[in-house]
Amino acid sequence: MIARKNLPIALTIASSDSGGGAGVQADLKTFAALGVHGASAIACLTAQNPKRVFAVEPCPPKILRQQIEAVFAELPPQSVKTGMLFSAANLRVVVEFFGAQTARPRVPLVVDPVMVSTSGATLLAPAARKILMEKLLPLAALVTPNLDEAEILAEQKIREPEDLRSAARKIFSRFGCAVLVKGGHLNDTREAVDIFWDGHTELLLSAPFVKGVSTHGTGCTYSAAICAGLALGCDLPQAVELGKNFITAAIAGSYKIGAHFALNQSSVTPGRHWRAGSGR
């Protein structure tokens, strides 16, 4: 009899990207590249390309809940990530499902808050922001804000690398979950610097900027790689380091699609051991 490999499962609850570079499409490519089976629950349909978001149509809350329930019924994941949820109704679905911990084993939840896109588009309805901060983040194992999102969550400006550290501590103190503040868009820096803080361990993760490349979907891919690392059995600091190395390699290996660049998740070898530069 042929021995079949038993793959771990990770679930992404996020939005579809019609351009294929971000959202659920990026998450599933990342899971596959890391040797994890990807399940998905579509929270929104979007009309977008690498340049901008044209329209967003939230999924009805009932079918979003049914997608999540269907996955947990037969494909219970080892880890879950959320991406763009957009509406208050969809935030409530996720909060209600993962808040009912007595009915199912607790799985680590990685929350990519997706409040503001790199291009500046608002991707979280105003009524949903309060639910995200008061209800969802306290359920998270990790939140992964970009600079704009971290400024909102920490209620401070971030202008230099040291600000990343203070913002991470404020976010952890305010919401009680570990945080990875992504500083890739800081001005006047030679490296993409991120700070992880979980109340005990601090990681300073840095990588040289890849010149001449502007990519779409880096935040989705980064958080998905962390989620995959958790499904593979990494602890949270290890999963974050894996994610940093994965996104760095995917950017370095990016390729052209039309007039744009796309991340190359398939350029990363599954099972390879990575280690980012870190300070504790």
Asked about 182 being catalytic, the answer comes back as yes
Asked about 62 being catalytic, the answer comes back as no
Asked about 217 being catalytic, the answer comes back as yes
SS3 label, residue 272 = coil
Catalytic residue (choose from 215, 227, 229, 248): 215
Catalytic residue (choose from 29, 81, 170, 182): 182
> How far is it, in rounded angstroms, from Cα 226 to Cα 34?
10
Asked about 19 being catalytic, the answer comes back as no
As beta bridge partners, residue 80 has: 11, 109
Tell me the two tokens of residue 19.
């351009």
Count Cβ atoms below 10 Å from residue 246 Cβ, excluding itself.
Answer: 26
Asked about 218 being catalytic, the answer comes back as yes
Rounded to 5°, the CA angle 163-164-169 comes to: 100
Catalytic residue (choose from 38, 219, 229, 243): 219
Catalytic residue (choose from 19, 38, 183, 217): 217
- Helix, strand, coil fractions of the chain, as percent rounded to 5: 40, 25, 40
Catalytic residue (choose from 218, 229, 244, 248): 218
SS3 label, residue 191 = strand
Catalytic residue (choose from 20, 220, 227, 244): 220
Q: Is 162 exposed, middle or buried (0-12, 13-18, 19+ CB in 10 A)?
A: exposed
Asked about 23 being catalytic, the answer comes back as no
Q: Which helix (H) or strand (E) holds 171?
A: helix 161-175
Question: Would you name the residues annotated as active-site residues?
Answer: 182, 215, 217-220
